[in-house]
Each structure stands twice: as structure tokens, then as C-alpha cells.
Structure 1
Amino acid sequence: MDIAKFIGQLQNCSKKEFKTILKGFDIKLSDKELDGVHPLLQEISLSWLVLGVPVSIQQKLIQLLGEQRATALYKEIIEKAPSSFR
């Protein structure tokens, strides 16, 4: 799957579909974390691959998850993402 198509899938997926996608990458979020993170998916952009995740999104994640959990989740996503996504 190409990156643009994957981003489109994330932007339009239900919470259940998002949970399945996360499971495929062996990334675990609690139901409470999932409820907070899922709405942010609509803000994902291809530009993040070049420019990085915007500070405003980072701040929202820290607010939702706490700084330690948000940092750990970011590292986990980077580690488990296919090389074509890095």
C-alpha cells in the first residue's frame, strides 16, 4: 500500500478499524487512549513525512496521554513503521 493511500485509510477509519490497524503494527492503546487519539487522525498529512508532526498535534497527544506515554508511543511507532514510512 502506498503512503498516500494509507494516510487516507487512517483519516477515514472507524475506531474499530483503527484498533485493527494498530494491532497489525503490534501497537497497543487503551480504549481511553484510542478515544482521544482517533479524532486526531483526520489531521494527518503527507507533509508530516517531510516536516515532522506539527507541534500542535504533539501538544494534543501529550495532553491526552501524558508526556512519558506520548514519547514512548512515538518511539514505538517509529520503530515498528515500515521503512518506506520513515
Structure 2
Amino acid sequence: MDYTRLLLEMKKRSDEEMLKMSRAYGLDFTVEEIRQLRPLLDEISMHWILTGVPESFISKVERVLGQKRTNQLLDDYLNMRK
């Protein structure tokens, strides 16, 4: 999964377009979740590839997606990097 592309596209696309795109990536987001996650995009740093995702950011995502789905998303991200 190309998370960089997905993140960049989230900023440009409509909610409905993002819903379709996220499903194409195997992510089951709702429109409301997409709306809540969008503001967090500005906090994402490419440095996290080396340092890992900060716990404070993970907590914000967990508030939107819940712990189980957030953990799955992070696991998918870590597996993609291998």
C-alpha cells in the first residue's frame, strides 16, 4: 500500500472520492472518519519513517478509529515498510 500517495490525495479529494480511494487500499473508513482524520494530515512527518509514529499522534487516530482499527492500520504500515 502506498501510504504517501494516499495521504497526499486525502488533502485534495472530496469525501466521496476519498471513501472510494480508501476502499481501494483496503481501508474501511466512513465519510465521518475521513472528515475527522483530515486535520491530522498536517501533523504527519516523513521523519516518522525513521523515528516511528509518536504516541500522541496515535492517540488522536485512536479517538477516531478506535484502538483495534488503529493498531491494524499501524501493523499494515509497518509490514509495508519491510
TM range (shorter): 0.5 to 0.7
2:77 corresponds in structure 1 to 78
Gaps of 5+ in 2: none
Gaps of 5+ in 1: none
Q: What is the alpha-carbon root mean square deviation over aligned residues?
A: 3.0
Specify which structure has the bigger relative contact order, considering alpha-carbon pairs within 8 angstroms and separated by 6 or more residues. 1
Q: How many correspondences in the alignment?
A: 79
1:30 pairs with 2:30: yes
- Alpha-carbon deviation of 1:53? 0.9
Going from structure 1 to structure 2, the CA distance change for 1:34 and 1:69 (only over 3 Å counts) comes to same
Q: Which runs of 4+ in 1 moved over 3 A?
A: 14-21
TM-score (norm 2): 0.66
Aligned counterparts, 1:3-82, within 5 A:
6=5, 9-10=8-9, 12-14=11-13, 15-16=15-16, 18-75=18-75, 77-78=76-77
Give me the identity figure in percent: 24
